[in-house]
Each structure stands twice: as C-alpha cells, then as structure tokens.
Amino acid sequence: MLRLIGTRALLGVATLFAVSVLIFVCTQILPGDVASAVLGNQATPEALAVFRKELGLDQPATVRYFNWFLGAIQGDLGKALTNGRVIIDEIKPRFYNTMFLAGYSALIAVPLSVGLGIIAAIREGRMIDRMSNVLTLMTISVPEFFIGYVLIILFAVNLPWFPSLATVYDEMPISERFYVATLPALTLTMLVAAHMLRMTRTSVLSIMSSPYIEMAFLKGLPRSRVVVRHALPNAAAPIITVIALNLAYLVVGVVVVEAVFTYPGVGQYMVDAVSKRDVPVVQACGLLFAGVFVGLNTLADIAAILVNPRLRHKR
Amino acid sequence: MLDRKELDTTSTGLVVDRRQVMAAAAALGLATGLTALPAEAQETPKKGGTLKLGMEGGSASDSLDPRTYADSVAIAYSLMACNCLVEIDDKGNATPELAESWEAKPGATEWVFNIRKGIKFSTGKELDADDVIYSIGLHRGETKSPAKGILEPITEIKKTGSHQITIKLSGGNADLPFVLSDYHLIILPNGYNDFTKTLIGTGAYTLDKFEPGVRIIATRRKDGEYWKKGRGNFDSIELRYILDAAARTQALVTGQVDAVNRLDPKTAELVMKAPTVNVVRSKASGLRYAFVAHRDTAPYTNNDLIMALKYGIDRQKIVDTVFKGFASIGNDHLISPANPYFDAALPQHPYDPDKASFHFKKAGISGPIELQVSEGAFSGATDSAVLYQEALKKAGIALDVKRVSGDGYWSNVWLKSPFCAVYWGSRPTADLQYSQTFLSSAAWNDTNWKRPEFDKIVIAARAELDTAKRKTMYAEAQKMVAEDGGMICFAISDFLDGYSKKVKGVAVHARYDLCDMRIAEKGWFA
C-alpha cells in the first residue's frame, strides 16, 4: 500500500512539472504582449521598444522558462511587469484570503452536504431526501453571481445583518474575518453542496444493494447503523474524490464570487494580470492554482486508498 | 477584459475657458490666488472624519510611479499625496496650483512659470524649481510615460530662478498650462525614484498603505495646515477598489462607502431615488463612442459610403437604449458641446434612412459591410452595433456585425480592422483632441484620414492667440472631420458620481469625475 501511495505522490509531482511547462507555453501564445497591453493606446513604437527591452522580452523563450522555473522552486516568482512589485509578497496575503474563504466554505459545505447525503440515503424517498435534493439542485442551477446578489439583497440590504463588501484586511481580527466573509462563504456553499450531497447519497445507495448489506439487515441491524457502519466505508472513495474536486473549485474557481463581494483573493489578482498581460503574475497564479488542484487530488487519492478497507488490511 | 476606459493621456471632458489662457498667452494674465471653491462650498468646510471611497478604474497592477498612471484610481491616490503645477477648476479654466503664476512670450513658444514659495514636501524639504524640472523630466526622453507625447514639443526646460522655470517649445502653443495640468505631471522631490512604498509630495495627505487592487489608506499630514485653505479636510481617506458596478452601488446605498465613481447608467435612476444618496452628473464629459472606418481602404475610400454610414445611424436611439439617456449624441467630430470651440452652427447629422439610401446607391457598393465590435472596445459596443445594423437595414444597407474577442482588442483589431468600434477620451483642449486622432502624422489616426489642409489648420490654430480667429479655424476643422472623416462618433457619455448626502463640497467638474479626482482634497463631512 505504501508503494501505491508513493506512486500517487510522484505522479502528482510529475503532473505539476508538466503543468508548469504548459502554463509557460500558454502564456507565451496569448495574443498581444505585455508591452502593448500595459501601454494601451499610448503604445507608440518607441515606447514599446523601450518597455520590451526593460522587461527582457527580447530573450529566447527557453531561457526565460528555466530562469522562471528555477526561481519558482526556490520561492522566487519574480516581479510583476506592470508595477515592479515582488509577486510572492503580493500573492501571499491574497492566497491566505483565498484559502480562508475556501476553508470557511468547506467548513460549512462538507459536513452539511455529506451529512445531508447520508441522511438522504438513510431516509431514501422520504421528505428530507426529496427536499435536500431539490434545494441543492436549485442552488447549483443558477449562476454564482445571481446567488451572491440574492444573498446581498436578503442579508445585506433588506436585513442588514452582514456587509455586502467582504473585503478582508491583514490586521482584521479573525472573528471579524469570519463575519465579513459570511455571505461569500454561503454563496460558495450553495454552489458546491449539491454535487457532494448527491454523490454521497448515490454512492451509499449503490452499496446498499450489495449482498453483505442484505446480510447486515438480516442480522437485524437498524437502517441507520447499516448505512453508517457498513455502507459508508465502502462508499467513501468516490465521496472523497468529489469533496477534493469541490475543495479545489473553492480555491481556483471563485473569481466571480470574489468580484461580486470585492473579496481580495488570488482570482481577481490573476484576472487583472491576464488583462494587462502581466505574464509572471499569470504564471505564478497558474502555478499556484495547479499546485492546489494537483495537491488536493493527490491527497484525495491517497485518502481513498487509506479508507478503502480492502487496501487498508494486508491480506 | 482589458479596461481601456481612460487609458488615454488626458481623457474626459473639459470645458475650456480660453480667455484666461489667451490672457496669459498675451503676457497679460498673472493668474493669482487660489482656485475658487465650488458654488456649493460657500459654507465653511469642517475638518474630520474618514472618507471611504469605492472606485472602479484600477487593478492589482497599479503602481505609484506617475509614468504608469492610466486610470481613475491612480489619479485619485496620486492627488492625495501630490499636486500638479496647474489645476483645472470646475469651469474648466487652468488655475494656479504649485505654479502661482505664468506668462507667455508673444507667439507662445516661450513660457515662464513662477513656482509657489514656502511649500513643503511631506519629508520637510521645501519645493523649488529643481523639483519641478525633475518631475516633468520623468516624462521626457527615454521613457514609457503616456505623457511623453504631449510633452514632445518641449525643447528645453530651464531654471531661471530658485522658484522659476522657463519652458521653450518647438512651436507656439497657447494651451501649455492645460498640458501641464495632465495627471501624470505630479510634482515630486528632485531625484525621487523609489515608487515601491509611498509617494512623497506636497499634497494634503500621506499614503500609509498601498495595496493595489485592494485598498489605499491616506492620512492627513501632521506637519501644519495644508497650504490650500479650506482643502484637505478629512482626517483620513480609505480608497477601496470595487470593480463590480453592482457591488459599488450596493456599498454606497448601504453606507459602507461615502462616494463612488462610474455609477451604472442602467441603475442610476434608481440610485437617485435613494434618500441618502446624491448623484452628480457631468453631461457630455465622458467618453466618445465611435465606429471608425479606414478612409484609405476600399470601400471606405468612397465619400458617399461614408455619408450613408453617417446618415444611417440612429444616434438618439442608441443613447436612449444603450446608455439609458445618460449620454449626448455625437456629431462625428469628437468635440463635445461643452467645449467652447464646439461649432453649434455645424448641422448635426440626423438619422435619415432616405439620405443614407441615396448615398449608398450612389456609392454603388455591393455586398455587406463588416463592422468589428467587442465589449472590450467599450461596454455597450455590441448593443450599439446591433442597433446600427437595424437602422441601416431601413436604408437598405446590410451591415455585418462581427463580434471579436475583447482580449487583445487594442493590439489586434483597433488600428488594423478597416471598420471597428473605438472610444476616445476627451482631451483637455481642442488641439490635443485633434492632434492625437486626426493629424496625418498622429500615431493613433485610427481612420487613416490624411488631409494636408486639415493639418495646416490645426497647427496654425495651436499657436493662434486671437480667440475669434481660433474659433473659426476650429469650426473649419470640425466641419472637415464631420463631413469627410471616417469617424462615426455617435455618443458622448456622462459621468455619474454617487455621494452620500453627508459629503459636502461636491460639484460637477469640467474634466474628470469625483471633482476632477480631487474629492479627497475638496470635500468634507457635514
């Protein structure tokens, strides 16, 4: 089993390396270059030439890739082309904010949806099963900004319980952070709940038809105990995968929610950089997101191995 | 999502009161004293409070370096910490700021500026001519500064006293004080080039926290009164980047911020009804929205086709539908009705399908005409183009509206496509407006319209000191552009600022929104 886990981890690293190449290549073939994007319609040919030279855009791409990659593994992501600020210093607080929001949402979303999924499986076909299904499907079916605006209207304007601006700052005490980030966290919860809930319910139910579950029922165990003790451990692997995918989404896919609530996360930083062709920043954000994505999925694979009773116990 | 709004040097509208410049140019006008306070501001300003601003027009890539400023947020924070030589007042006049007076030698090729004495930077250093020469010099020569172009005619800046500079120009320019009011030309201490943490200037505030893309915090300087009386009244300023228009509006209505820029025209009517909010609307001060055709590319070389395209657009409908009435119709020549050189006698091109049809038939063009548009050109470009298509249909003209990517629009489509959407910011003077867009030599002549007669008029008007003569010249220039040029400028937008009612000292300004981006300096709390 250790070998299995080791292979998974190595595979993760290899994926990350491949992604780094891909990110670099993709940023090279973006239309237009940073010089013309930054200067906009001020871009006279002389200004462009001066700026390109200043940015080192006249060097070959392979040289730039290795310079970048070697720097990146040492934690040096370079300086932003547009304003010359050190990227790692800019990205750190934003990444912390992003992780904070993702963590906050996960804290609500994961127990809620997995719990509801299990309950729905236990009470299959009953009121609570139907209700939770319909409600979460409804929230996943509308665009995220719409949910955001509805929450703002309800809980920031009509009932002034929470601020509509969720901007968090370094010096904010943690309790206040939780308070201001409530609406975006709820928005994200609604976005990811349905997926996890339905996957939990389905995978538990699919196990329920196995012979050994029938055996458990025949032993006279109550349905809830059968589900939690017997069905769930075997149903865990797909649930974990779905949770990991959704957690990754909470980190990398929330730019619209960030914009609606003016939340200073990495997403907005990356969008700004893309529109200005600030290549080092785009690369840094891309690498970060790829790292989170690959990391979470690798962890999920490893966790799935660990919880699988057949792999856990040596034969 | 390239936001080119105000990516131009000195965009946005300016009501230019030429008399004052003329007076100065004729070496008579020693402009003295401070800028007049806005009409509403006759009550005495009160000190105190934290002004919370919510603004669009900036991003995480904003920098403190004045050579990078391109949008509203940067202008706003630079003017908290710094001053320029010349300030534009509410009416659009060039008034003294760090330059207490100026005069031009006849012909307007040589100008003398007297620098105000006894002004201190936040470091305690006193302002002198060297600081001014250094600060303007940042934008000359080998530089990527957007202000480089407008300073190009300057051949020499000489120190002619501890507090006096003399500027020599390659050709007469009666508008030099306006040029020096450009927002890039803030005055910094001589040799200052560390733009990583803060800005050192002579302004009312110091920048304490600079977190581009998130917020900027400034506090009032502790070392004595601000040198402008009645200005710089807030204890501190908190500027937040709120890029989403709905979020910005929400923040204003719920009182999380005290002032916002760029209200969405679609919801402005509703915001005006909110009891706590005061909306300031600056008419026809904003962006010029246009479709531009390359006059040197077939079929747009044909005059009748151009006339057909100009008569075939229903301007009023676009203004009412796309901009919800918060814009004025344009007459294809970029000069706003708010500009004193606007020629009211020049007939407005009406929407006339019959005339359009007549000219189109005369032109004898077959096949549809392709117009490339993108929301990356300006918000509402696609809707405008579709309305244009409908209007042309009534004249029997087929327009193909081709939507292109907003990403890379300015490098891939604009200046390259023979017929595409564009916006132009208003320039502080009629001269700059025309020099940058329609002169044969202009780098951004996006209609490829080259007429030596036109060039001659604009260059002569630049040095002309007689207002009446100048007015005739600009009228002629407008007529040429409107009738012969390849630009279909159909609308000029309004600026819409939103303030909490407790913010006083706010007024319509002739140039930029948020009181010429000086709300931090000009406003106060009731």
ipTM score: 0.81
Provide the edge-to-edge strand list for the sheet that holds B99-104: B99-104, B110-115, B164-169, B154-161
Cβ-based contacts of A39 with chain B (< 8 Å): 144, 146
Answer yes or no: do A197 and A149 share one domain: yes
Answer yes or no: do A301 and A163 share one domain: yes
Pairing of the two strands B50-55 and B259-260: parallel
Is A82 part of any domain? no
What are the tens digits of pLDDT across the range A146-167? 999 999 989 988 888 999 889 8
> Which of A43, A82, A271 comes nearest B63 by C-beta?
A82
**One pLDDT digit (tens) per residue for chain B, 526 residues:** 333 333 333 333 333 333 333 333 333 333 333 334 444 445 789 999 999 999 999 888 899 999 989 889 999 999 999 999 999 988 888 899 999 999 998 888 999 999 999 999 999 999 999 999 999 999 998 887 888 888 989 999 999 999 999 999 998 998 899 999 999 999 999 999 889 888 999 999 999 999 998 999 999 998 888 999 889 999 999 999 998 888 899 899 989 999 999 999 888 989 999 899 999 998 888 889 999 999 999 899 999 999 999 999 999 999 999 999 999 999 999 988 878 888 999 999 999 999 999 999 999 888 789 999 998 888 899 999 999 999 999 999 999 999 998 877 887 898 899 999 999 987 778 898 898 889 998 878 999 999 999 999 999 999 887 889 999 999 999 999 999 999 999 999 999 999 999 999 998 888 889 999 999 999 999 8
Answer yes or no: do A133 and A166 share one domain: yes
Answer yes or no: do B293 and B402 share one domain: yes
Answer yes or no: do A229 and A288 share one domain: yes
Interface test with B, best of A30, A33, A41, A150 (most B CBs within 10 A): A41
* pTM summary value: 0.83
Is A78 part of any domain? no
Residue A250, domain CATH: 1.10.3720.10
State which residue of chain A sits closest to B425, comparing Cα positions. Answer: A41
Pairing of the two strands B369-373 and B399-403: parallel
Answer yes or no: do A55 and A186 share one domain: no
Is A81 part of any domain? no
Answer yes or no: do B371 and B431 share one domain: yes
Answer yes or no: do B359 and B465 share one domain: yes
Measured between alpha carbons, how far is B372 from A100 in angstroms, rounded to an integer?
43
CB contact under 8 Å between B213 and A269, yes or no, is yes
Answer yes or no: do B422 and B294 share one domain: yes
Give me the number of domains chain B comprises: 3
Answer yes or no: do A64 and A175 share one domain: no
Answer yes or no: do B296 and B267 share one domain: no
Is B301 part of any domain? yes
Answer yes or no: do B339 and B394 share one domain: yes
Answer yes or no: do A95 and A69 share one domain: no
Of the residues A73, A106, A125, the one at which a domain ends: A73
CB contact under 8 Å between B8 and A42, yes or no, is yes
Amino acid at B248: R
Residue B99, beta-bridge partner list: B115
Answer yes or no: do A65 and A21 share one domain: yes
Answer yes or no: do B255 and B382 share one domain: no
Cβ-based contacts of A90 with chain B (< 8 Å): 60
Is B185 part of any domain? no
> Which of B59, B243, B251 comes nearest A276 by C-beta?
B59
Of the residues A21, A48, A73, the one at which a domain ends: A73
Is B240 part of any domain? yes
Residue B454, domain CATH: 3.10.105.10
Answer yes or no: do B59 and B127 share one domain: no
CB contact under 8 Å between A157 and B250, yes or no, is yes
> By residue range, what is the domain housing residue B231?
18-75+203-282+496-525
CB contact under 8 Å between B144 and A47, yes or no, is yes
Cα-based angle B148, B153, B155 (whole degrees, multiple of 5): 100
Positive/negative CA dihedral, A131, A135, A140, A142: positive
What are the tens digits of pLDDT across the range A6-59? 888 899 889 988 998 888 888 777 666 666 666 655 566 776 777 777 666 677
Measured between alpha carbons, how far is B90 from B40 in angstroms, rounded to an integer?
11
Answer yes or no: do A103 and A168 share one domain: yes
> By residue range, what is the domain housing residue A257?
89-312
Is A299 part of any domain? yes
User: What interhelical angle do A87-122 and A127-141 show, nearest 10?
Assistant: 150
Provide Rg for chain A, Cα atoms. 24
Is A79 part of any domain? no
Answer yes or no: do B366 and B471 share one domain: yes
Residue B71, domain CATH: 3.40.190.10
Measured between alpha carbons, how far is A200 from A241 in angstroms, rounded to an integer?
11
Answer yes or no: do B394 and B324 share one domain: yes
Give me the number of domains chain A comprises: 2
Of the residues A73, A107, A134, the one at which a domain ends: A73
Residue B167, domain CATH: 3.90.76.10
